[in-house]
Structure 1
Amino acid sequence: MALSCCSADDSDAEPLHSVDDADARGDLSGGDRTDRTPLVDPDVLHDLEDQLDSAAAARAFVRDYVAVWDERELRLSSAVARQNQAASLDAVLSLKITSTMVGATQLVALARGLEKLLREGSLDEAAAVLPHLHRCGLRTMRELTVMHLQKD
C-alpha cells in the first residue's frame, strides 16, 4: 500500500500530499488528490495557547510531544510487529489524540487510517504504512521544533 502523506525521502523540497479523512481506509496513499494539508496547523497551536491560557504552557506541551515522538513511534511499530492488535490500537489512539492537540494534521490523518486498519485486524497492511508514518513524523517534529519552539 503506497502512502504519500509525506515525501518519499526526507527532503523539505518535496511537496506534501494530504490524506483525506473520509477515505482513511480505501486509499491511504492520497492517490490523485490535489488538496494539500500542512504538516502543522498553526490555528490549532493558537487554540491550545488559548485553552491553556499560556503560550509557555502550550510550548511546553509541544516540547514534550516532540521529545516523546521516538518512544511513541517505537511503541506503535513494536506492537504492530508483534501482531498485538490491542497494543497497536492503544498506541495509535495515543498518537492520534496527542497529534490532534498539537495540530499535526498529516499525522492525525495517518493515525486515523492506521486505526481503521487495526480495528479491521489488517496488521500486515498497517505495518506497510509505518515507514510513511515515520517519515511524516520526522518532518512534523522538525516543523514543530523549528517553526514553533524556536521562534522566541
Structure 2
Amino acid sequence: MNTIDLTPLYRSYIGFDRLANLIDNAMRGDNTSAGYPPYDIESLDENQYAITLAVAGFDMSELDITVEKGVLTVRGRKSNDKAERRMLYQGIANRAFERKFNLADFVEVIGANLHNGLLTIKLVREIPEAMKPKTIQIETGKVLEHKAGTDKAA
C-alpha cells in the first residue's frame, strides 16, 4: 500500500489538519463498512443534499443517526428475534452496520425519513452571514475618520 507523507501540510498550513486527516483516512481505506448497506448521495439543489441508505428489514427503533465533529454516523443493530424464527434460507442481510460520512463545513442534518426500507437523511449547507461575501459601497466626497488611539485621518 502506498502512503503519502502529509507532514509538510501540517507544517505549512494552519487549520487544515482536518483536511489532512481526511486524505490520510481515504488513502488507508475504510474497510469497516465493506459496502453494506448500499447508499446513494444526491444533490437536491445547490445547498441541499440527501443520503439514502438501503436498510431493508430494519425498524426505526433499530437505527441510530448521530453527528459529531463533522462526521455523520448511521448505525443499525438488529434486535435478537432468531429464537422465534427458523430460517431455511436467509438472503436478506440481517447484520449490524455502521456507516460514516464526513460533512463539509456548514453542512447540517435537517431530518431523516424511513420509508419502504430506505432511510433518507436530508442535509443543508447554511453558510453564516459573516462568511458570505459582501459588497462594500464606495462613496465620494466624505472624509473617513480613523480611530486608532488619537490619530485621525483628514
Taking structure 2 as the reference length, what is the TM-score of the superposition? 0.25
The structure with the largest helix share of the pair is 1
Select the structure with the greater relative contact order (CA < 8 A; seq sep ≥ 6).
Answer: 1
Task: Give the TM-score, by structure 1 length.
Answer: 0.26
The structure with the largest alpha-carbon Rg is 2
